[in-house]
Amino acid sequence: MILNKYKNMKKRIVIVEDDFLIQELHKQYIEKMGHEVIAAFSNGEDAVEFFKEHDADLILMDIRLETSLDGIETMKKIHKINEIPVLYVTGNTEESNLRKALNNQMKGFLAKPVMPQDLEDLIDSVNTINDSIRYAEKIQKALFPQKNEMKRIFNKCVYINRPKDTISGDFPFLLFKKKHLQIFGGIGDCTGHGIPAALLSVLCHEIVNNQTRKFSDLRLIIDRINKKVISSLARKEGDTTLRDGLDLIIFKVSPEESVIEIAGVKRPFIHFDSKAQKHNYYSIRGKSIGDVLDMENDIPVFKIPYSPNDFFYFFSDGITDQFGGINGKKLMKKRLLEFLDSTKDMPSDLLETELELFLRKWQGTHMQTDDILLIGLNPYQLSFNHHLKSKINN
C-alpha cells in the first residue's frame, strides 16, 4: 500500500499533560521512537494559542486537565483552527470519556499508565498527512453522502465512516427519485485501502450514481455498473488493464409499498425483523464487480416487506475483519450480531454512539485493519417533506 511508506516517517508531536513527570516520560518515549516533540503544555488554553500560529502531525492529549478546559474541549477549539489528529490519554477509563472523545478526530485512546509499545503502535497508525491527501479527503466528503444527508431522508439511521488512511476505498451512495418516490442507496467497498482504493472509489461512485439515475431494476443496475467498471479500467494499448474490483450492495426503498429491495455482490446485510425480534444475516457470496457476471445467477435480489420498527444494516468488511479483543481475533459476524441483539430496543441516536464505542473497544490498541463503513436505517421513518408524505398517505 502506498501510504505504508509514511509509517516510519518522523512525526511532529505536541503533548498536553498537566503532570510534569508524565509529560517528561511521554516525551522520552516519543523521542526514543524517532519522533519530535515540538511543544508541551500543561493546560488547554496555551495549547489552543500555540495552534493559532503553528501546525503538528499529532497531539497527545490528556483528557483531565486542571484548568477550565479539559482535553476534549481543548481539541474542539483546536479543530476549529486545524483538524489535527489526536491520541487521547487518561487515567479515568470511564466509558463516558470515550464517548465524548469519539466525535473529536480521535485516532486512539490510551489508559494511564501508558505502555511504550502501545503508544508506538498508535503513533505509527497515524500516517503523516500532506496537504494533497487532506484535500483528497475533502473531495471525497463533497462527493459522497455524509451523515446529515442520510438523516435528511431517514429519520432513524446510523452512520459510521472511519477510513483506515484518512481517504477511503469504501463509499456510500444515496439517490432520491422524486418522480417515482423511490430511494436508492448502498455501500461500495473497493479493493484495498489508502490512495489506490480512494481513487477507485471516486470512479466507482460516479459510475454507480450514473447507472442508478438511468435505471430502476437493481439487477440491471449492477450489471451495467459491472460493464462500466470493466471498460473504465481496461485499455487496449499497453499493459494498463487493472484487475481491481468492487464489492457492492444496493437497496431500493419503495415507501408506497413498504418494501425494500436489496441486491449485491460479495456484501452481506442484516435485517432486524421487529415482529420476530430477530436479526437476520444475509450473506451474498460469489464474484465481485470487475469479474464477468451472469445477471441471473451472480446477482441475487431480495425483496423484503418491512414493518414500522424494522432496521437494515449495510457495511463493509472492515467491520467484521477488524482484529481485537483479548486474543487479537477478528470481530466476525457472530459478535456483531450479539451486540445488535443486545441493543435492539435502543433508539437509533444512542445506537450509533454505542456501536462506535463497541467497535473502538473491540479494536483496543490493535491497528485498524481496513476502512470501516456502516449504514443502518429504518426505511419506514422517512423525512420527506409534507406534500410527499401526503402523496404517500393518499
pLDDT digits (tens, 9 = 90+) for 379-392: 998 876 444 444 44
| pLDDT reported for residue 90 | 82
Which pLDDT score is estimated for 287? 87
> Is pLDDT larger for residue 193 or for residue 362?
362
Nearest to 59 by CA among 87, 36, 32: 87
**Residue 225, φ and ψ in degrees, nearest 5:** -60, -45
- Averaged pLDDT for residues 215-231: 93
Q: How does residue 91 score in pLDDT terms, banded at 50, 70 and 90? A: confident
Percent of the chain scoring above 70 in pLDDT: 86
Q: Is the bond preceding 113 in cis, omega lying within 30 degrees of 0?
A: yes
**Average pLDDT of the segment spanning 20-43:** 94
The answer to whether 19 and 131 have CB atoms below 8 angstroms apart is no
DSSP 315-328: E-TTTTT-EETTTT
Mean pLDDT within 106-128: 80
pLDDT tens-place string over residues 136-149: 777 888 888 888 88
Kindly indicate the confidence band of residue 242, based on its pLDDT and cuts at 50, 70 and 90. low
18 vs 129 pLDDT, higher one:
18
pLDDT in tens, 245-281: 789 999 999 998 999 999 999 999 999 999 999 999 9
pLDDT at 237 (0 to 100): 45
Residue 285 DSSP code: -
pLDDT in tens, 325-347: 989 999 999 999 999 999 998 98
Residue type, 288: S
Counting Cα atoms < 13 Å in the Cβ hemisphere of 247 gives: 19
**Local confidence band at 285 (pLDDT 50, 70, 90 cut-offs):** confident
Q: What's the full length of the chain, in residues?
A: 394
Whole-number pLDDT of residue 192: 67
Sheet containing 246-254: which strands, arranged edge to edge? Answer: 170-177, 182-190, 246-254, 259-265, 301-305
- pLDDT at residue 127, as a whole number: 60
Backbone phi, psi, residue 12, to 5°: -95, 115
Task: Evaluate if residue 297 carries a pLDDT over 60.
Answer: yes
- Report percent pLDDT > 90 for the chain: 51
Taking the C-alpha atoms of residue 379 and residue 381, their distance in angstroms, rounded to an integer, is 6
Q: What SS3 string covers 294-314? A: CHHHHCCEEEEECCCCCEEEE
Q: Is 235 exposed, middle or buried (0-12, 13-18, 19+ CB in 10 A)?
A: exposed
User: Phi first, then psi: what are they for 194, rounded to 5°?
Assistant: 80, -155
- Is pLDDT at 295 greater than 90 in this prediction? no
How many angstroms separate the CA atoms of 289 and 102, rounded? 33
User: Quick one: which of 323, 304, 301, 321 has its CA closest to 312?
Assistant: 304
What's the rounded Cα separation, in Å, for the pair 284 and 365?
A: 31
Q: pLDDT higher for 7 or 299?
A: 299
Quote the mean pLDDT of the chain: 85
List, in order of start, the domains of the chain with CATH numbers.
Answer: 2-128 (3.40.50.2300), 136-393 (3.60.40.10)
pLDDT in tens, 164-174: 877 888 999 99
List, in sequence order, the alpha helices (H) in the chain.
Answer: 20-32, 44-51, 71-81, 95-101, 116-125, 131-143, 147-153, 194-214, 218-233, 295-298, 332-342, 348-363, 386-393
The answer on pLDDT for 69 being more than 80 is yes
**What global pTM score does this model have?**
0.71
Number of H helices, E strands in the chain: 13, 17
Q: Does 1 or 391 have the greater pLDDT score?
A: 391
Provide Rg for the chain, Cα atoms: 23
